[in-house]
Amino acid sequence: MKRTVLFILTISTVVACSKKESSPVPDYSKAVPTETAPPVETPAHDSSAIFAEGKSLLEGADCLGCHKVDAKLIGPSYNDVAAKYPNTPGNIDLLAGRIIDGSSGVWGQVPMSAHPGMSRENAKKMVQYILSLKK
Ligand code: HEC
């Protein structure tokens, strides 16, 4: 009798243990990687994309017939424009408006012709390019 009880106890212990082992609770806390992820390559900065776009828009328009980057032509050099106006949203708006509507009396007596067909968005990109020429 004593043997039988011992036997049953042993069996039930083995069964209980094997049951426990067959369904272990996964320890997810150990799966968390301790290494930090490698730095993601930073995409081209927005302003440099606008710079390139403004530059190509400007080269595709009539601007360079009257303006040069580093010398006065009929209009002021773009370096001079960049030196006169800080690169602020207000100045970008102001100058984009002057490109579209034309301008006179700011740099001399020769007026800049209006560009009525130009979108404000494109004019602003050109101004952003010009104002970032500052050395
Ligand atoms: C017919 C010649 C001519 C063309 C073409 C021309 N400009 Fe001008 N631009 C001028 C003159 C002249 C001035 C100076 C006007 C003044 O004194 O108000 C000027 C002034 C400017 C200024 C400064 C405005 C200010 O208020 O200080 C900017 C910016 C400018 N031009 C950008 C451009 C861009 C961009 C284009 C092409 C889309 C362009 N210009 C095409 C002659 C021209």
Q: Which of 58, 62, 99, 115 to mutate to test the pocket of ligand 1 (most atoms within 8 A of CB)?
A: 99
The dihedral of CA 105, 102, 76, 120: what is its sign?
positive
How many A from CA of 35 to the centre of ligand 1? Answer: 55
The domain segmentation of the chain, as residue ranges, is 65-131
Q: What is the mean pLDDT of the chain?
A: 83
Phi-psi region of 108 (alpha: psi -120 to 50; beta: other; left: phi over 0): left
Angle at 82 between CA 77 and CA 88, to 5 degrees: 150
Q: What is the pTM of this model?
A: 0.74
pLDDT digits (tens, 9 = 90+) for 71-110: 999 999 999 999 999 999 999 999 999 999 999 999 999 9
Q: Which CATH class is domain 65-131?
A: mainly alpha
Alpha carbons 41 and 62: distance in angstroms, whole number: 38
8 pLDDT more than 50 = yes
Q: Would you say the CB of residue 6 lies under 6 angstroms from ligand 1?
A: no
Which pLDDT belongs to residue 48? 86
pLDDT digits (tens, 9 = 90+) for 28-55: 666 655 566 666 554 445 678 999 999 9
How many A from CA of 90 to the centre of ligand 1? Answer: 18
Q: Whose CA is nearest to atom 38 of ligand 1?
A: 63
Structure tokens given for 13: 């212990």
